[in-house]
Chains A and B, each alone.
Chain A
């Protein structure tokens, strides 16, 4: 199969994730969309790796997954903390750190 198809799919996934981040206000959904964007990147890494013919890209993808897992842990932890303190789960409401 040609590599272009993978790239097109990866770009679409990335666009979906980015749009999700921009238009949704729930932190949970934003976190999901972030994962989609990361995995879009992973997909293109793997595709290029296949095209070039070595394993570096795949190793890279695995490292990205580890980082993403860590990020989700932190992100979900934050969300739980917000929930426990009975704060609104809405990123537009949580803007205490504005300049």
Chain B
């Protein structure tokens, strides 16, 4: 079978799984729903591997195929096909998405067991994977937008999964609205592309673009900037990032799958996919790179002070995506994609570990209340440590190779791109500190009551759960873990998922060691061969020098965290007291929510109120009631004549006719 046939099968299984679970939720026992969901994604992963094998059997230059099943829309010179585009980049994304998704489904199989919305959860989750695969496999911009919007909806549905929880539903709406802003950017970019190039198909667009546009022409810059709006909204980059931390209100597997491993990296994929256009618009590419840099620094500093376990990891996700966006924008394509892959592994793992702890804490996510889980949950703490080491780019782990490769490329490109190297290393220092801040505060020390109960009895029982943000009672009837919590590491599917990810987080970097194997670079090379930036390759020596710097920074960062939180636990409080304004600034997340509120929400509301009060009340209502008054008034006047006296009607008639007769007589003579 050809690679495209496998790609269609990759799309088919999650869709079938989603439909089967959604339609059969009354009949299926909950275990069966979980099994179907997991199996569907597992089969998709197998098909993805088959597509990879079939692709590897061809010459590197011939590794791109387009295939379409039928016409999606064919009208007025527009010919859009329901087609997929299979090349190393999309197969790479398919493997990352289906691979990580399979493990997260496996994890959810155990994690969501005490949840009433089990079927709904797996149906949504399969639908999300289908949409994400549609996004990465789409063969034209229209289908890309379809997948793009589908993942937006799936994200909304899963953030608001506990739909009786007001904070969750609000977060879902916020995510959806911000994502729709991005969708608009993407749609407008597609319109512009069609106007200039007359087609939506990837192959034709990328073949024609270099002949149609001159470098930095305004149209191509506009197209790229609009694409960036879409990418930034989906990938939670400044200034569209505020939805991601709020999205942590959803169930933890959702955060792990959508808001760490897959959906939020769609922006990176988009930039890599359209790199031909970005090469033509260097200004837009630089804007993207600087936004990525700004995001990675801003998010890194916020992550230093967050006391909410999942939100801190979410800010770390934004920061790591900043690296990827920066990478694919400056030309380190395969390095950016490689970081996407390793990040999917270690961040999904970190979220799983966090979810495990949060479940034991009755959905309390505050790290001030957590302590001593190292003894209580040994398996979770080991995997969390693995994920943390990879995130902090500890020498030898996967994050170590991927992050430093981006920075080494920035150095090799030289010029102003040195800024990215320097600040990127500073970001790496922040990463190491905030990652181990979380680990050192949660794992060691004297166990908190929950951890102690777990050590003593082997399970945890809580009172009825309350939402810590609003104090409302959680509604466990429609899906919220009840009083008896499922301890993550006690069921084998969760252990299996976390174990595999821990292994990958530690060792996946070894497939891309500079000067040794560089599997990812070689595999993705044909896709990016047309970009002049792909010819800049950091020398092996420079790469190793970069790795050495990265290793030092990582160890120094972990050391600082150790010094702050283990050796001298009283220092953080002292620092907070001394740097009170800075701390307040960071705790309030650089006041981005307030800024957007003032710049966008308040003016929009003001315009709405103005339109309501002035336009609606005066103009529209005036027109309507004015018409009514005119008709009614003239009716009142005419009514007076209808006195009901028949003889007066007759008189009127006679006088009228007499008058008419007189007139004609006079005028005829």
**When the two chains form the complex, which single residue of A18, A25, A92 contacts B654, counting CB atoms closer than 8 Å?**
A18
B644 within 8 A of A: yes
A52 within 8 A of B: no
- Contact: B654 with A99, CB < 8 Å? no
- Contact: B647 with A25, CB < 8 Å? yes
- Contact: B651 with A98, CB < 8 Å? no
| Interface residues in B, total, Cβ within 8 A | 13
- Contact: B651 with A22, CB < 8 Å? yes
**Interface members, chain A 37-75 (any B CB < 8 Å):** none
A83 to B142, CA, bound (A): 81
A94 to B650, CA, bound (A): 15
- Contact: B647 with A95, CB < 8 Å? no
B643 within 8 A of A: yes
A94 to B643, CA, bound (A): 11
What's the nearest-Cβ distance from chain B to residue A25, in Å?
7
- Contact: A98 with B647, CB < 8 Å? no
- Contact: B646 with A91, CB < 8 Å? yes
- Contact: B654 with A22, CB < 8 Å? yes
- Contact: B650 with A22, CB < 8 Å? yes
Mask of B141-152 contacts with A, CB within 8 angstroms, 1/0: 000000000000
Report A-chain residues with C-beta under 8 Å of the C-beta of B650. 18, 21-22
**When the two chains form the complex, which single residue of B642, B646, B647, B651 contacts A99, counting CB atoms closer than 8 Å?**
B642
**When the two chains form the complex, which single residue of B638, B644, B647, B651 contacts A97, counting CB atoms closer than 8 Å?**
B644
B26 within 8 A of A: no
B639 within 8 A of A: yes
- Contact: B647 with A21, CB < 8 Å? yes
Report A-chain residues with C-beta under 8 Å of the C-beta of B651. 22
A90 to B645, CA, bound (A): 10
- Contact: A92 with B639, CB < 8 Å? no
Report A-chain residues with C-beta under 8 Å of the C-beta of B638. 99
**Interface members, chain B 178-224 (any A CB < 8 Å):** none
Report A-chain residues with C-beta under 8 Å of the C-beta of B606. none
A98 to B638, CA, bound (A): 12
A94 to B638, CA, bound (A): 21
Mask of A5-38 contacts with B, CB within 8 angstroms, 1/0: 0000000000000100111010000100000000
- Contact: B654 with A95, CB < 8 Å? no
- Contact: B645 with A99, CB < 8 Å? no
- Contact: A96 with B647, CB < 8 Å? no
Of A21, A22, A30, A99, the most chain B CB neighbours within 10 A belong to A99
Task: Give 27 pairs: A residue, B residue, CB < 8 Å, sorted on A.
Answer: A18-B650, A18-B654, A21-B647, A22-B651, A22-B654, A23-B647, A25-B647, A30-B646, A91-B646, A91-B647, A92-B645, A92-B646, A92-B647, A94-B646, A95-B644, A95-B645, A95-B646, A97-B642, A97-B644, A98-B642, A98-B644, A98-B645, A99-B639, A99-B640, A99-B641, A99-B642, A99-B644
Report B-chain residues with C-beta under 8 Å of the C-beta of A18. 650, 654
Report B-chain residues with C-beta under 8 Å of the C-beta of A30. 646
**Interface members, chain B 617-644 (any A CB < 8 Å):** 638-644
What's the nearest-Cβ distance from chain A to residue B649, in Å?
10
Report B-chain residues with C-beta under 8 Å of the C-beta of A91. 645-647
**Interface members, chain B 11-63 (any A CB < 8 Å):** none
What's the nearest-Cβ distance from chain B to residue A61, in Å?
20
What's the nearest-Cβ distance from chain B to residue A5, in Å?
20
A23 to B648, CA, bound (A): 10
Which residue on B lies nearest to A19, using beta carbons?
B654
A98 to B650, CA, bound (A): 15
A22 to B644, CA, bound (A): 14
- What 11 new A-B contacts, CB under 8 Å, besides A22-B650, A25-B647, A99-B642? A21-B647, A22-B651, A23-B647, A92-B646, A95-B643, A95-B645, A96-B644, A97-B642, A98-B642, A98-B644, A99-B644
Which residue on A lies nearest to B657, using beta carbons?
A18
Report B-chain residues with C-beta under 8 Å of the C-beta of A21. 647, 650
A94 to B646, CA, bound (A): 9
What's the nearest-Cβ distance from chain A to residue B637, in Å?
11
Which residue on B lies nearest to A15, using beta carbons?
B654
**Interface members, chain B 319-346 (any A CB < 8 Å):** none
Which residue on A lies nearest to B641, using beta carbons?
A99
Mask of B136-171 contacts with A, CB within 8 angstroms, 1/0: 000000000000000000000000000000000000
Q: Which 3 A-B pairs have the closest CB atoms?
A: A98-B644, A95-B644, A99-B642
Which residue on B lies nearest to A97, using beta carbons?
B644
Report B-chain residues with C-beta under 8 Å of the C-beta of A99. 638-644
Report B-chain residues with C-beta under 8 Å of the C-beta of A95. 643-646
Report A-chain residues with C-beta under 8 Å of the C-beta of B642. 97-99
What's the nearest-Cβ distance from chain A to residue B164, in Å?
60
What's the nearest-Cβ distance from chain B to residue A90, in Å?
10
A92 to B646, CA, bound (A): 7
Report B-chain residues with C-beta under 8 Å of the C-beta of A23. 647
Report A-chain residues with C-beta under 8 Å of the C-beta of B639. 99
Which residue on A lies nearest to B646, using beta carbons?
A91
What's the nearest-Cβ distance from chain A to residue B394, in Å?
94
Report A-chain residues with C-beta under 8 Å of the C-beta of B641. 99
What's the nearest-Cβ distance from chain B to residue A70, in Å?
20
Report B-chain residues with C-beta under 8 Å of the C-beta of A22. 647, 650-651, 654
A94 to B644, CA, bound (A): 8
What's the nearest-Cβ distance from chain A to residue B585, in Å?
76
What's the nearest-Cβ distance from chain B to residue A1, in Å?
25
